[in-house]
Amino acid sequence: MGMHGVDTMDTNGEGQKFNKYACACSIVASMISIIFGYDTGVMSGAMIFIKEDLKIDDVRVEVLAGILNICALVGSLFAGRTSDFIGRRYTIVLSATIFMVGAVLMGYGPDYAVLLTGRCISGIGVGYALMIAPVYSAEISSAKSRGFLTSLPELCISIGILLGYVSNYFFSKLTLKLGWRLMLGIAAIPSLVLAVGILKMPESPRWLVMQGRLGDAKQVLSLVCNSTEEADRRFHDIKVAAGFDENCDENYVKPPKNSRGEGLWKVLLIRPTPTVRWILIAVVGINFFQHATGVEAVVLYGPRIFKKAGIRDKQKLLLATIGVGLTKTVFILLSTFLLDRAGRRKLLLTSTGGVIVALATIGFGLTMAENNEFSWALVLSIVATYIYLAFFSIGLSPITWVYSAEIFPLKLRAQGVAIGVAVNRLMNATISMTFISLYKAITIGGAFFLFAGMAVIAWWFFYFLCPETKGKSLEEMEALFSRGPKHRNAGVEIQPGNNV
């Protein structure tokens, strides 16, 4: 069995190998998130030119911005069942193909209707991408590196957003009709490359076990583990979690009847056990609060916020927005290295605390700037926007996806994560489609005070309902969430034999 690791130190200071093959698989799977991030980021600048070229009003701009997430909500609800049926790998291929079709239509975009159709199709691809990339990464990684690998999709979203902003800046120098169409259409190229490249990757070992393909699963585990002992231990835990006899050593056995996701909505939503209910509440809550704290308002409408804060020139607006993308990317990158060391809970609470202060400061700065044109208030608003993004990106941004992908039991994981993604997209759509109307109703400063209030509620939710998951195997999560809230800090050790 090959050794694919390099020596690192785990959280206890003991030698632990980092598996390069598992990392490579997660990176390739996460590439789908770059395309999604690009779609989000590029639209913030493209909307300035689309509005001018197609002569559309603010309501149509809001619909164009938000329809992506409405369609992503639909896509995510299908994605869980799809990935249980055709596998994690082919779901990524499907997502890349959908993105490619959407990008081609948007790049063609002769009128608003075709542009909106392309955006809708891309949205369905987003729903698939958001659900599948973290699930695949979580299922292929070991407990020690899962935080790092499962946060890669979120890092890739940020890289994509940054590339979108850079694309805005450079393509904006072209003619009005050509510039925004190239901004949107160029995403078709990486989509095609990814759809082909993903086929070189192995399938998730946990999905293979669910299909009864034990021999194939063992083969994949031999590649993503650093030793025969680790592969055997993970294989044993996955078999038990999937409901197979732990001593079964055949290459193929008949899979359980719900191996392809049949009947799981009932287990999740209608008659959940207390443990599954707690897990579902935690996942729905963290996905709700990720957007209720206003990130979409900053990312999508960054140019408008900077305009309110006094930056008028189009090129300078786009440059200021590149700064937003750069800040987000740098701090998510920092977070990927902290997740398996500091732990999810500590980062999440620190991040949300910083977000509360930054949002209140943005609200105050913009209120002062709007009413009195104070130059210090303009500077304060812009600085606080960057601080907000730094705090959001070091915790709440990546941990939402890491936490959602790691805490569901094996059989419920794909469809459980799909519910989380659906809530995430619903909130994203709500913020992106109502922000202009909201700030016109209660002022732009008032909108950010509202987001600050939501962040206070979020902090209490995380404190009481989100236990620490650092270093626990996926098969141990159910036992962790079976304990009372007094164990939320996860200071009690769970023995591997207790994994329900």
Question: Could you report the per-residue pLDDT of 231-254, keeping only the tens digit for each?
Answer: 999 998 888 888 888 777 788 888
The answer to whether 335 touches 397, Cβ cutoff 8 Å, is yes
**What distance in Å separates the CA atoms of residue 84 and residue 103, rounded to the nearest whole number?**
27
- Three-class SS of 134-179: HHHHHHHCCCCCHHHHHCHHHHHHHHHHHHHHHHHHHHCCCCHHHH
303 token code pair: 């140019």
What is the length of the chain?
500
Mean pLDDT of 452-473: 93
φ and ψ of 263, to 5 deg:
70, 10
How many Cβ atoms from other residues are within 10 Å of residue 225's Cβ? 26
The answer to whether 194 touches 34, Cβ cutoff 8 Å, is no
Question: Could you report the per-residue pLDDT of 145-179, keeping only the tens digit for each?
Answer: 888 999 898 889 888 988 988 888 888 888 888 88
Mean pLDDT of 407-435: 87
390 Cβ contact partners less than 8 Å away, ≥ 6 residues apart:
327, 331, 354
Paired strand residues for 15: 9
**What distance in Å separates the CA atoms of residue 38 and residue 40, rounded to the nearest whole number?**
5
pTM of the model: 0.81
The answer to whether 122 touches 106, Cβ cutoff 8 Å, is yes
Closest by CA position to 471, among listed 10, 15, 18, 27? 10
Provide the sign of the torsion angle of the four alpha carbons 467, 470, 472, 473, taken in this order: positive
Query: Is residue 437 helix, strand or coil?
Result: helix
pLDDT > 90: percent of the chain: 30
The stretches of 55-87 forming alpha helices (DSSP H) are 58-86
**What distance in Å separates the CA atoms of residue 26 and residue 36, rounded to the nearest whole number?**
16
Q: Are strands 15-19 and 5-9 parallel, antiparallel or unpaired?
A: antiparallel
Closest by CA position to 95, among listed 8, 184, 230, 190? 190
The answer to whether 68 touches 42, Cβ cutoff 8 Å, is no
The stretches of 293-374 forming alpha helices (DSSP H) are 295-300, 302-308, 314-342, 344-372
**What distance in Å separates the CA atoms of residue 302 and residue 370, rounded to the nearest whole number?**
16
pLDDT band for position 354 (cuts 50, 70, 90): very high
**What distance in Å separates the CA atoms of residue 160 and residue 34, rounded to the nearest whole number?**
4
pLDDT band for position 10 (cuts 50, 70, 90): very low
